[in-house]
């Protein structure tokens, strides 16, 4: 039996199928990974916003937490 040369189209299709199978098998892992990345981005933005915001005293924070006016 003679072997046919592998064409770029054949390689592309094989890669697509392998990637699709991997994504289906590792769906939970990918979901967790994306969730972690989004949490890291949100935390980074919150830290940056905090660095750029006005400073307040510790007492002002506790007053707000108690429901009082700052």
Mean pLDDT of the chain: 89
The answer for residues whose C-beta is within 8 angstroms of residue 66's C-beta and 6 or more apart is: none
Quick one: pLDDT at residue 70?
47
Q: Where would I find the beta strands (DSSP E) of 1-70?
A: none
Mean predicted confidence (pLDDT) in 24-46: 91
Mean predicted confidence (pLDDT) in 43-48: 94
User: What is the three-class DSSP state of 4?
Assistant: coil
Q: Which two tokens stand for residue 66?
A: 């108690």
2 band by pLDDT with thresholds 50, 70 and 90: confident
Alpha carbon distance 63, 61 (integer Å): 5
- The domain spans of the chain are 26-50
């Amino acid at each position: 039996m003679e072997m046919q040369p592998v064409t770029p189209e054949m390689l592309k299709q094989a890669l697509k199928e392998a990637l699709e199978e991997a994504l289906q098998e590792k769906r939970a892992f990918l979901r967790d990974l994306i969730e972690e990345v989004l949490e890291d981005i949100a935390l980074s933005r919150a830290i940056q916003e905090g660095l750029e915001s006005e400073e307040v005293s510790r007492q002002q924070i506790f007053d707000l937490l108690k429901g009082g006016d700052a």
